[in-house]
Chain A
Amino acid sequence: MDLLQILSNTVSSILGPATIAYALAAVGLAVHFGYTGLLNFGIAAYMAIGAYGYAISVLTFGLPWWGGVLVGIVGSIIFSLILGIPTLRLRGDYLAIVTIAAAEVIRLLFLTNAFDAVTGSADGLSGYHDSFRAANPLPDGTFGFGPFTYNSTGWWVRIIGVLILAIAVLIVWSVMRSPWGRVIKGIREDEDAVRALGKNVFAYKLQALVLGGIFGALGGIVYALPSSVNPGVYVTSLTFFVYTALLLGGAATVFGPVLGAVLFWVVQTFLSNLLPALVVSGILPFMSTSQSQTLRFILVGVALMLLVIFKPQGLLGNKKELTFVKQ
């Protein structure tokens, strides 16, 4: 067992594209759930729309990479409108069921054989990297220090990802301290009170849904940037994992989603490296290596339960702020 390698992989995952993608999705979810109180269980669909929008516009329509990003964003806005206009008037748990169902519809549409020529059905999409990599200003070769040693493409993906994440966090930070943000938080705390003040609650909710959805789609794009788009990723479990990351950091906080995503992936990477190594070296004789990989996900579920019960405000959250409005 190579403990140093395990630690190195773990530390390296702080800057992993998956971490950045989860952080972006969690920031989007923070806007939806943490600040506005919308129980959006369809964040996986936003990520899928971002990823497929990017890959399809590059592969099928030959757009440059930034065009693909724009298509992903526009796709997420359209999805927000389709999803939001009918459902935002519904009560919280209804919204949860509708969004999770809509996310499954989106996933099945990307998965079906009927659109194989465009979506690649079960195989997903790959080979859309040329434009993005051609835009890479970094020199060829491998550079960095310690565990953060990546090749040129690896750095380029991470730089773009962190840049997008920084912009997203900045936007959330600035809008949430603006009058708009105060109305949004007011809607979470007491929708009727805000309505009584003459605010158009529905319009505010829809704006929040669109804003968070864009971050979700960008998360999906960053997830797809390094390798490929695989329909098996965008299952409802992905939504739940992003929720876990969000609640870990703190749902109604600016940096909570980022911290949560980093912790989520650091722990995941650590366990996914450590547990099989323990099995191989005979320390966990009662399980196989594949069982040890499953164990991680059991722990995610347990962690999610414990978090919601014992620390619903998350690591960075303020207990006074009602993240879970009692309905």
Chain B
Amino acid sequence: MTTVRIRDARKTRRIGIVALAATVATLALTMLSGPAAADDINLDKYDFKVSGNVKLNSEPLEAVALTVAGSGYTVDIVTDVEGRWSVGVPEKGEYTVTLDESTLPTDIAVIDETDDSPNVKEVTIGQSGSSVMNFFIGRGERNQTSFVDQLVERLVNGLNFGLMLGLAAIGLSLVYGTTGISNFAHGEMVTFGAIMTLVFSGMLGLPIWAGIPIAILLSAAFGYVMDVGLWRPLRKRGVGIVQLMIVSIGLSLALRYIFQYFIGGGTEQLPGSDSPQIDLFGSVSLSVIDLVSMAISIAVICSVAWWLLKTRIGKATRAVSDNPSLAAASGIDVDQVVRIVWIVAAGLAGLSGILWAYFRPGIRWDMGAQILLLIFAAVTLGGLGTAFGALIGSIVIGLLVEVSSLFIPADLKYVGALVVLIVILLFRPQGILGRRERVG
């Protein structure tokens, strides 16, 4: 399983990948004794293969770094003495091969007049099960992006990712605040939304504007069913919060494997995931989906905020979150509030899953579990049980994950966020907006 998120066929990513490959190569060179020399990777592990060779005027180039990415899988490779490389890949489909130009000899670059980023190529693995990708190398200008452009691009992506996390984190935080459950099955609620969209838009062929609302409604209904079928009876039994937490872990495992049972272990794409790019400024560009996704996140988060601050139920929710017994004593129907919180939380998680499926891109059975810890990090960072803290925490985590990949290898980018989670808990365990007495 790889955790690196890839968006193939997109210029936005290409620039990122070049930077990442450069970082990886530099790190590999500085940290280890010599380059991580490998000219064939995972060939015996996977059935499908991408290979090629890198030559300059028919002279092979050794130790040129390449990255092959696609289908949620990334691998770095270095050419051998004869300029050859080959990589085993897990499934048929499209892969992006990126040649790291900083590992070419000076004044040498990949030449292709028809392509503005000639060092990044798409390959498709079809019936034959393998594909060859050769780069044309010559004297010329390299495809480089300025640091500022990269940073801006990462910031925009980070904000997008953070808002997406925020949708899920607000729900998790509300549930925690009102019921005390650290719900480890929240990741599966995220996956549920994405899978329902896949079922209605991908399999049943409904248009996407119909499929997504249906998926969100079903997610909300799923939250209701979970509360009525599982959590409320457990509350009635007076089950302790540690037990509830482990029950949610069991539920998470069961749901995750139920998803795998039905959709299998591969990656599925939602319709419309290859939307056109819009150039913003410099070399920064965003896809239509990214923009729409950010707009939806912001609109939904604002409505939730309005709901929490202005409506009766929203106020009751905050009251229960503050002190359930006192809220009950003042005539608030705690059970009803909790039920509504579950519905809202599950709906938000479902929406977050749909957006996340476009952002990754792709739907996997364990996609929610992949970001569960980031959601927890966001919630903890903001302060357990505070909805707005969760939002701030999410944006910080989103930015951190994306921006940190400028400096550390892409496959370690979640590590930064998790380390921040741990450090925050040391110095300010109540989080940014939490209050001290919440911490025992």
Binding site for B on A (CB under 8 A): 39, 86-87, 90-94, 96-98, 100-102, 104-105, 108-109, 111-118, 122-123, 232, 235-237, 240, 243-244, 247, 287, 290-291, 294-295, 297-298, 300-309, 312, 324-327
Q: Is the CB–CB distance between B380 and A247 below 8 Å?
A: no
Assuming the contacts A114-B412, A117-B32, asked whether A294 and B261 have C-beta atoms less than 8 A apart, the reply is yes
Chain B residues contacting A326 (CB-CB under 8 Å) are: 240-242
Q: Is the CB–CB distance between B32 and A93 below 8 Å?
A: no
Q: Is the CB–CB distance between A94 and B429 below 8 Å?
A: yes
Q: Is the CB–CB distance between B247 and A308 below 8 Å?
A: yes
Q: Is the CB–CB distance between B376 and A101 below 8 Å?
A: yes
Assuming the contacts A100-B373, A305-B247, asked whether A327 and B415 have C-beta atoms less than 8 A apart, the reply is no
Q: Verify if B291 is at the interface (C-beta below 8 Å from A).
A: no
Among the 9-residue stretches B117-125, B209-217, B251-259, the one with 4 or more Cβ atoms under 8 Å from chain A is B251-259
CB interface residues, B 219-238, toward A, < 8 Å: 234, 237
Q: Verify if B205 is at the interface (C-beta below 8 Å from A).
A: no
What are 10 A-B pairs with beta-carbon distances under 8 A? A96-B182, A100-B373, A101-B418, A112-B411, A114-B409, A114-B411, A116-B38, A300-B254, A309-B243, A326-B242
Chain B positions 293 through 336: 1 when the CB is less than 8 Å from some CB of chain A, otherwise 0:
00000000000000000000000000000000000000000000
Q: Is the CB–CB distance between B255 and A112 below 8 Å?
A: no
**A319 to B202 CA separation, bound complex (whole angstroms):** 50
Among the 9-residue stretches B102-110, B157-165, B277-285, B420-428, the one with 4 or more Cβ atoms under 8 Å from chain A is B420-428
Partner pick for A118 among B24, B32, B42, B247, CB 8 A cutoff: B32
Chain A residues contacting B247 (CB-CB under 8 Å) are: 304-305, 308-309
**A309 to B233 CA separation, bound complex (whole angstroms):** 11
**A300 to B34 CA separation, bound complex (whole angstroms):** 45
Q: Is the CB–CB distance between B36 and A113 below 8 Å?
A: yes
Q: Is the CB–CB distance between A327 and B28 below 8 Å?
A: no
Q: Is the CB–CB distance between B36 and A232 below 8 Å?
A: no
**A290 to B260 CA separation, bound complex (whole angstroms):** 10
Q: Is the CB–CB distance between B33 and A301 below 8 Å?
A: no
Least CB separation from B253: chain A residue: A301
Chain B residues contacting A113 (CB-CB under 8 Å) are: 24, 28, 36, 75-76, 409, 411
**A105 to B422 CA separation, bound complex (whole angstroms):** 10
Chain A residues contacting B276 (CB-CB under 8 Å) are: none
Assuming the contacts A90-B425, A301-B251, A308-B250, asked whether A236 and B243 have C-beta atoms less than 8 A apart, the reply is no
Least CB separation from B234: chain A residue: A309
Assuming the contacts A109-B415, A298-B254, A304-B249, asked whether A232 and B241 have C-beta atoms less than 8 A apart, the reply is no
Assuming the contacts A113-B411, A297-B257, A302-B254, asked whether A104 and B245 have C-beta atoms less than 8 A apart, the reply is no
**A307 to B247 CA separation, bound complex (whole angstroms):** 9
Partner pick for B425 among A87, A109, A112, A325, CB 8 A cutoff: A87
Q: Is the CB–CB distance between A240 and B242 below 8 Å?
A: no
**Nearest-Cβ distance from residue A179 to partner chain B, whole angstroms:** 26
